Amino acid sequence: MSNSTIESVLQEQRVFEPSPAFSQAAQIPSMAVYQKLYDEAAADPAAFWAKLAEQELDWFEKWDTVLDWQPPFAKWFVGGKINISYNCLDRHLTTARRNKAALIWEGEPGDSRTLTYAQLHREVCQMANVLKGMGVKKGDRVGLYMPMIPEAAVAMLACARIGAAHTVVFGGFSAEALRDRLNDAEAKVVITADGGFRKDKAMGLKPAVDAALDDNAVPSVTNVLVVQRTQQEIDWTTGRDVWWHEAQPTVSADCPAEPMDSEDLLFILYTSGTTGKPKGVVHTTAGYNLYTHMTFQWTFDIKETDVYWCTADVGWITGHSYIVYGPLSNGATSLMYEGAPRPSNPGCTWDIVEKHGVNIFYTAPTAIRAFMKMGDELPKARDLSSLRLLGTVGEPINPKAWMWYREIIGGNNCPIVDTWWQTETGGFMLTPLPGATPTKPGSATKPFPGILADVVDAEGNPVGTNEGGYLVIKHPWPSMMRTVYGDDDRFRRTYWEHIPPKDGKYLYFAGDGARKDADGYFWVMGRTDDVLNVSGHRLGTMEIESALVSHPSVAEAAVVGRKDELKGEDVYAFVTLEGTYTASDELKAELKQHVVKEIGAIARPGEIQFTDALPKTRSGKIIRRFLRNLASGEEVVGDATTMEDQSVLEKLRQGN
Ligand code: 7RM
């Protein structure tokens, strides 16, 4: 991490204590209580988690072994039988929560719907029975390609109910990206919608599913279940495609939850890595249920009457863990919004907070920066006094945005929980507990109880106070990813061998750099690998390079991140062309569109620079460091003597 970044982080020195009123009412009311939990968990993690598993979840059968750790493979609650759909639904039906709102949904053109726990349970059972009717069995995989509508949550819970693993593909991904993921998972059924609304526009989803499945390109898929949302004209494949609204009335609303082994596959979620092919991150049932349950409960200090709103999309891990599973397992009310702040109504986010009296609001720094840019008048014109807790996730938050969030949205009265975690970790790893932890703007503060985190050097030795290093986790936790789907070897290489294991001790390396200050607070600095963070979305530079090179005009491509005020990082691509092609603005536009087609709009390069050659070492490795400097208009720093051809740099500087 560059010195300038560290300095900008260090500028804000203030510490914010939770108010006495907040602490008094909180589940974890003080640092003393946090420390006690932390110490207890650190001394005997298995005992700590076992106690909570017993107290907090319903089991069909208790486990024999809490943790079976054969590094780097962990199994939690071995021998136990459990179902997360049961824990999210059935067990609430015999309590006062039966008629409580489970999901409040705000649709983009002003539609609105509330599903109580009883109603959600009914829909989930029906969809589970429709899936069974299509031949979906325990152990099968089901692909989801959905807009942000209640049926997305219904579909996830329906899969979990019958023991089928879901793999949700973000609706913004292209047909090509969808096809690759469905094939890797060998999905049997795809659940989608005709389309979804986003920023006043209806966008198609079913057409992308059709394109992905064209010419039998995904031979494992036998059926497509389609939810009607936009009523767009869509193509129909008889025998394969089924309307949800036609199937729903034909099935029973009774579908007992399948008892699952603790370690049965719950879902696969694909995420970007250093190499080209996205990784299928594998999460299993019991440990994921427990960990998302506990982190949701303590970090959001959830109260029975709270309305909680997480603005993520269910296509990302944040949507899985903290729109669906964590909140519902706790019997909370989770608000789901279909769209994004839209041109015709830039204040809609705050309208929704006011309309539903939202108490807990969880969003990303990129959104906070966008809200900031829209001006203070929009939030100030609404009554936001229902808010009592704010959260952020996805990338390091700059102290300026943190302060704005606190003052303008939180009225100086709401703690902010800056939660650091990943698709791979399943749930929060570093986070304040809002009634206990004094917060520092820009720091994700301290590990959740049961998480042993540290900052180490390349050999795995702890670094000194305020020294930069690799952020690692030293002990397995219940919701850690179990493997890369179908590729144990890649799992081991990617996460556990980057820092070589010593004396049988394995360190989980997350891919982020960090430092720890004198108070033991962690400051996450961002990725140390070739992964970009664009608006809180992870993109591998290799993925985008592969997409570019698949265009006939491109000989070679190198993608780097360029600092962007709103998005955090933007995609900047250097491209060399095949001999018969010449650089032009039309070709630039075509290449950008090509990336959108191959991956999706989130990966569209902000800038493409054509060049005759890329800077390389004598052994042929692209020197990305130089390219990063060039992309952000900085002086090219560092040693250039390893370069094969010095003139390349000079040419690049001059823009060609
Ligand atoms: C939840 C999620 C993971 C990457 C991670 C970090 C970055 C996420 C924070 C953060 C600083 C945070 N999953 N990241 N949260 N960096 N502070 N609070 O985002 O798999 O999509 O991305 O996101 O680099 O490695 S993810």
How far is residue 649's CA from residue 643's CA, in Å, rounded to a whole number?
Answer: 9
How far away, in angstroms, is 520 Cα from ligand 1 center?
A: 20
Name which residue sits closest to atom 19 of ligand 1, judged by CA: 394
What is residue 640's predicted lDDT score, i.e. its pLDDT? 64
What is residue 637's predicted lDDT score, i.e. its pLDDT? 67
What mean pLDDT, rounded, does the chain reach? 93
What is residue 574's predicted lDDT score, i.e. its pLDDT? 95
One-letter amino acid for residue 528 of the chain: T
- Please tell me which of 114-128, 188-202, 638-652 the model is most confident about, judged by mean pLDDT: 114-128
What is residue 382's predicted lDDT score, i.e. its pLDDT? 97
| Cross-strand bridge partners of residue 42 | none
Name which residue sits closest to atom 10 of ligand 1, judged by CA: 395
pLDDT band at 195 (very low <50, low <70, confident <90, very high): very high
Rg (CA), the chain: 24
What is residue 641's predicted lDDT score, i.e. its pLDDT? 64
Lowest mean pLDDT among 431-445, 594-608, 626-640: 626-640
Which atom of ligand 1 lies nearest, measured to the CA of 444? 18
Which atom of ligand 1 lies nearest, measured to the CA of 423? 20
Pairing type for strands 307-310 and 360-363 reads parallel
Q: Is the CB of 531 under 6 A from ligand 1?
A: no
Across the chain, which distance is largest between two alpha carbons, in Å? Answer: 74
How far is residue 433's CA from residue 426's CA, in Å, rounded to a whole number?
Answer: 18
How far is residue 296's CA from residue 299's CA, in Å, rounded to a whole number?
Answer: 6
CB 344 within 8 A of CB 312: no
What is residue 614's predicted lDDT score, i.e. its pLDDT? 87
Per DSSP, the three-state class of 129 is helix
Q: What are phi and psi of 539, to 5 degrees?
A: -135, 130
Q: Average the pLDDT over 466-488 and give the result.
A: 96
Per residue in 641-655, pLDDT (tens digit) is 667 777 887 788 777
CA 398 to chain centre: 19
How far is residue 362's CA from residue 369's CA, in Å, rounded to a whole number?
Answer: 14
Per residue in 65-82, pLDDT (tens digit) is 999 999 999 999 999 999
- Please tell me which of 107-116, 196-205, 376-385 the model is most confident about, judged by mean pLDDT: 376-385
One-letter amino acid for residue 32 of the chain: A
- Considering only residues 50 and 395, tell me which one the structure prediction assigns the higher pLDDT: 50
pLDDT band at 5 (very low <50, low <70, confident <90, very high): very low
What is residue 275's predicted lDDT score, i.e. its pLDDT? 67
Mutation to probe ligand 1, out of 295, 395, 423, 543 (largest number of atoms < 8 A from CB): 395
Of all residues in the chain, what percent carry a pLDDT higher than 90?
79
Per residue in 247-262, pLDDT (tens digit) is 999 999 999 999 999 9
How far away, in angstroms, is 421 Cα from ligand 1 center?
A: 5
DSSP annotation of 463: P
Q: Which residues contact 185 (CB under 8 A, 6 or more apart)?
A: 141, 143, 165, 167, 268, 280, 485
| pLDDT for residue 162 is more than 50 | yes
Q: Is the CB of 510 under 6 A from ligand 1?
A: yes
Q: What is the 3-state composition of the chain as percent helix, strand, coil, each rounded to the nearest 5?
A: 35, 25, 40
How far away, in angstroms, is 318 Cα from ligand 1 center?
A: 10
> Measured between alpha carbons, how far is residue 456 from residues 453, 474, 509, 512 in Å?
10, 11, 10, 11
How far away, in angstroms, is 529 Cα from ligand 1 center?
A: 13
Lowest mean pLDDT among 76-85, 522-531, 585-594: 522-531
Q: Is the CB of 292 under 6 A from ligand 1?
A: no
Examine residue 399 and say whether the peptide bond preceding it is cis (omega within 30 degrees of 0): no
Helices 117-133 + 150-162 axis angle, to 10:
60
Per residue in 30-39, pLDDT (tens digit) is 999 999 999 9
Q: Average the pLDDT over 509-524 and give the result.
A: 94
How far is residue 489's CA from residue 422's CA, in Å, rounded to a whole number?
Answer: 20
How far away, in angstroms, is 395 Cα from ligand 1 center?
A: 5
Pairing type for strands 469-473 and 508-516 reads antiparallel
How far is residue 95's CA from residue 266's CA, in Å, rounded to a whole number?
Answer: 26
What is residue 350's predicted lDDT score, i.e. its pLDDT? 97
| pLDDT for residue 403 is more than 50 | yes
- Considering only residues 636 and 347, tell me which one the structure prediction assigns the higher pLDDT: 347
Q: Is the CB of 271 under 6 A from ligand 1?
A: yes
| pLDDT for residue 433 is more than 70 | yes
Q: Is the CB of 538 under 6 A from ligand 1?
A: yes
How far away, in angstroms, is 393 Cα from ligand 1 center?
A: 6
pLDDT band at 570 (very low <50, low <70, confident <90, very high): very high
Instruction: For residue 275, count other CB atoms closer than 10 A to its CB.
Output: 15
- Considering only residues 391 and 541, tell me which one the structure prediction assigns the higher pLDDT: 391
Termini Cα distance of the chain: 28
Q: Average the pLDDT over 224-243 and give the result.
A: 97
**Helix residue ranges per DSSP H, 285-364:** 285-299, 317-319, 326-329, 348-356
DSSP annotation of 394: S
Mutation to probe ligand 1, out of 362, 422, 498, 543 (largest number of atoms < 8 A from CB): 422
Mutation to probe ligand 1, out of 393, 416, 424 (largest number of atoms < 8 A from CB): 393
pLDDT band at 7 (very low <50, low <70, confident <90, very high): very low
How far is residue 293's CA from residue 286's CA, in Å, rounded to a whole number?
Answer: 10
What is residue 4's predicted lDDT score, i.e. its pLDDT? 42
How far away, in angstroms, is 209 Cα from ligand 1 center?
A: 29
How far away, in angstroms, is 536 Cα from ligand 1 center?
A: 7
Q: Is the CB of 393 under 6 A from ligand 1?
A: yes
Per DSSP, the three-state class of 24 is helix
How far away, in angstroms, is 600 Cα from ligand 1 center?
A: 20
Per DSSP, the three-state class of 30 is coil
What is residue 542's predicted lDDT score, i.e. its pLDDT? 84
| pLDDT for residue 276 is more than 70 | no
What is residue 2's predicted lDDT score, i.e. its pLDDT? 42
What is residue 12's predicted lDDT score, i.e. its pLDDT? 64
Q: For residue 113, which of 149, 70, 162 has the smallest C-alpha distance?
A: 149
- What DSSP line would sit under 539-592, residue for residue? EEHHHHHHHHHTSTTEEEEEEEEEEETTTEEEEEEEEEE-TT----HHHHHHHH
DSSP annotation of 484: B
Pairing type for strands 389-392 and 360-363 reads parallel
| Cross-strand bridge partners of residue 327 | none
What is residue 621's predicted lDDT score, i.e. its pLDDT? 73
Q: Which residues contact 244 (CB under 8 A, 6 or more apart)?
A: 127, 130, 151, 225, 226, 227, 228
Q: Average the pLDDT over 235-243 and give the result.
A: 98
What is residue 6's predicted lDDT score, i.e. its pLDDT? 44
Name which residue sits closest to atom 8 of ligand 1, judged by CA: 394
Name which residue sits closest to atom 12 of ligand 1, judged by CA: 420
CB 366 within 8 A of CB 568: yes
Q: For residue 168, which of 196, 194, 138, 143 has the smallest C-alpha distance?
A: 143
